[in-house]
Structure 1
């Protein structure tokens, strides 16, 4: 068996980067614990085949394992998540590499758009934190055509979310919705670590939503991230619905998102003080096409319910959502993975890749990498789902 000289420090770093104990990594590598400890302490050389597995588990390029010392590693964009949470002490390799992967795709798409003579988007950075959030909310509502008959006719928040994603893409924002790293179901993105991130850019802005988060909360996250683009602020986001309003960027973006989805004047008008809270919350949900979660947080911030009522309603609703999610998971089949890819890759980005492949400007291998598919069949399925034709 071929042995390779990798310093014990690098073996230890790769384990810690993966967030695993010695016992856990030994189990994943299918080796004896004492043997792994010997590798980590530099007492013996690690087999090349095991080093490859270690590289895959920790999402570290194989060549980097041969470095003398572990590099300083941090998130490549600002961190707007709640300080003090234990889960934030070390970012997972899935989060770090998902951001790097999104930046790689964004850079390619930016160059593509420039080659197609696309102009900078006027709404990127058009506001500052001392501007009125209500003005910014009106801007987003106009950009996303929230006064259109199509949006007004949405049956519920799920239809509304699809509408918002499609219209965000229409105005030039790449929206990626996924719960796994690069279509690898064995590498989930944990919603407790982050709810999404945004990469601001005047040509090719990108928003990523972690779909492992409660689906009713994703609509608020999307608008919150678009608000980040209005102030040209890239960053990783915590739960916008419940995060403490301590960071000025998050406070401002929260206020914008709340006003977009549940305008204060409409909420006050619809709130019937003679009716019970449950009836009022359901009325807001139906009339405004928002989730009950958003309704609960919005009326709390407007002083229509107390903190204890908010906590109780929110807990009850999350319990209902989790029960429904578990029930869906127990059903045979599940969502069409190819249909979901429409949101996993970003509609416009995927169409640009397909166009470049069809014109011979991009190799199939590169297209597979960009769209996270294994072969031409996967590429064809994406084209069919997006109703793409090379004659377009």
Structure 2
């Protein structure tokens, strides 16, 4: 006879909320959920274990009297639907944050072990620093000039180039659209677009790779601005957040100035011309999204806030319709995995493992791999072997 488990409905609902599973597939995966919540039936132990696994919830949590309070380990600069308040965090976001914190901790210890110098630009400016001044500091450190941008043929190239340049100056850059190696746990750009974890020896930024490539370029610049500011935090990189939080407003301004310098933009944009025909050509010129261009148009005084919000919503609808017809590709594992974990981090971790300073068990955990052959393959792809 199967053992039935009495689970409080609030725990089942809490696990559902934190799972991030889309409403359209929920009842297909859990056809007995409504009956459990209503008290008309109780799950067997095996069913409860399956429910916990599929909602990415520790099974012990489901046996508590009330849902545990899970707090974000970083400042939350997101604004839900353009309003004030606090957004909930799914297990996908929490697990991603914890994985990045573990990698950062390892990398910091590794840097100190080798007597590496601290990264001097971390916390080098304040919100009182003019965005143009901070953007110039970033541009000089990253070598992100107009000449470099003009040589880039696509948003993908712009993202890759900015990522490489950030890693060259000591930043751990992680770009991933999934949790760890689990392709079934897709990160939702509507929940967050990125975060920055400040540290003098191991500064880290994460960019949600499930977002559009053109949007990822701005998110990366925004999170790098967080490092220059010395402000750890979780971002949605939204204009509304800029109204709510001084740090986000400042980081948005710095990122925009880095990617689309106003002095150059005022020469490229025709305020007397029609707006819409100019959006895509300008987005291609600066290798950013049309949303960023719209923001610069507003900052140049050509449109007001209400018109900006209206045009932004039109652009989002247009982009979503384009994205819906595109099929995702897994790509080359040995090319994508280091980007998902961070090339700089992966390279140093594998070298440490091969030298015997880090155990294979620890390396597997931090990289999210299971085989020595996979680790060695990553090493070869990065020139460590």
The number of equivalent residue pairs is: 383
Query: What is the Cα deviation at residue 148 of structure 1?
Result: 8.2
Deviates more, 1:27-36 or 1:145-154: 27-36
Structure 1: runs of 5 or more not aligned:
none
Q: Check conservation: 1:281, 1:292, Cα contact below 8 A.
A: yes
Measure the CA separation in 2 of the matches of 1:50 and 1:68.
19
Residue 247 (structure 1) aligns with: 245
Q: Say whether residues 1:389 and 2:358 are aligned partners.
A: no
For residue 374 of structure 1, give the secondary structure of its aligned residue in structure 2: coil
Residue 57 (structure 1) aligns with: 54
Query: What is the Cα deviation at residue 301 of structure 1?
Result: 1.6
Q: Check conservation: 1:22, 1:33, Cα contact below 8 A.
A: no
RMSD of aligned C-alpha atoms? 3.3
Q: Check conservation: 2:347, 2:384, Cα contact below 8 A.
A: no
Query: What is the Cα deviation at residue 25 of structure 1?
Result: 6.8
Residue 224 (structure 1) aligns with: 222
The C-alpha deviation readout for 1:188-214, integer Å capped at 9, x for no partner, is 111111111111111111111112222
Q: Check conservation: 1:178, 1:343, Cα contact below 8 A.
A: yes
Q: Say whether residues 1:271 and 2:230 are aligned partners.
A: no
Measure the CA separation in 2 of the matches of 1:133 and 1:23.
43
Q: Check conservation: 2:222, 2:237, Cα contact below 8 A.
A: no
Per the alignment, do residues 22 and 94 of structure 1 end up closer, same or farther by CA in structure 2, a change over 3 Å counting?
closer
Measure the CA separation in 1 of the matches of 2:67 and 2:315.
44
The C-alpha deviation readout for 1:285-333, integer Å capped at 9, x for no partner, is 3443434332222122211345566456544543443344233317xx5
Query: What is the Cα deviation at residue 63 of structure 1?
Result: 4.5
Query: What is the Cα deviation at residue 10 of structure 1?
Result: 4.9
Query: What is the Cα deviation at residue 228 of structure 1?
Result: 0.9
Deviates more, 1:284-293 or 1:258-267: 284-293
Find 2:343's aligned residue among 339, 343, 347: 347
Q: Check conservation: 2:159, 2:213, Cα contact below 8 A.
A: no
Find 1:113's aligned residue among 111, 130, 147: 111
Deviates more, 1:4-13 or 1:367-376: 4-13
For residue 95 of structure 2, give the secondary structure of its aligned residue in structure 1: helix
Structure 2: runs of 5 or more not aligned:
none
Residue 73 (structure 2) aligns with: 76
For residue 328 of structure 1, give the secondary structure of its aligned residue in structure 2: coil
Query: What is the Cα deviation at residue 259 of structure 1?
Result: 0.7
Residue 360 (structure 1) aligns with: 356
Query: What is the Cα deviation at residue 29 of structure 1?
Result: 5.0
Query: What is the Cα deviation at residue 222 of structure 1?
Result: 0.8
Q: Check conservation: 1:177, 1:208, Cα contact below 8 A.
A: yes
Matches for 1:363-382 after TM superposition, within 5 Å: 363-382=359-378
Q: Check conservation: 2:12, 2:37, Cα contact below 8 A.
A: no
Find 1:211's aligned residue among 209, 221, 225: 209
Deviates more, 1:201-210 or 1:50-59: 50-59
Q: If the length of structure 2 is used for normalisation, what is the TM-score?
A: 0.86
Q: Say whether residues 1:300 and 2:301 are aligned partners.
A: no
Measure the CA separation in 2 of the matches of 1:259 and 1:16.
38
Q: Check conservation: 1:339, 1:385, Cα contact below 8 A.
A: yes
Measure the CA separation in 2 of the matches of 1:269 and 1:148.
14
The C-alpha deviation readout for 1:266-301, integer Å capped at 9, x for no partner, is 111223456544554455334434343322221222
Residue 90 (structure 1) aligns with: 88
Per the alignment, do residues 67 and 359 of structure 1 end up closer, same or farther by CA in structure 2, a change over 3 Å counting?
farther
Per the alignment, do residues 13 and 243 of structure 1 end up closer, same or farther by CA in structure 2, a change over 3 Å counting?
closer
Deviates more, 1:264-273 or 1:71-80: 264-273
Per the alignment, do residues 319 and 11 of structure 1 end up closer, same or farther by CA in structure 2, a change over 3 Å counting?
closer
The C-alpha deviation readout for 1:32-68, integer Å capped at 9, x for no partner, is 754565599xxx6x64433432332343334555556
The C-alpha deviation readout for 1:247-276, integer Å capped at 9, x for no partner, is 100111111111111111111122345654
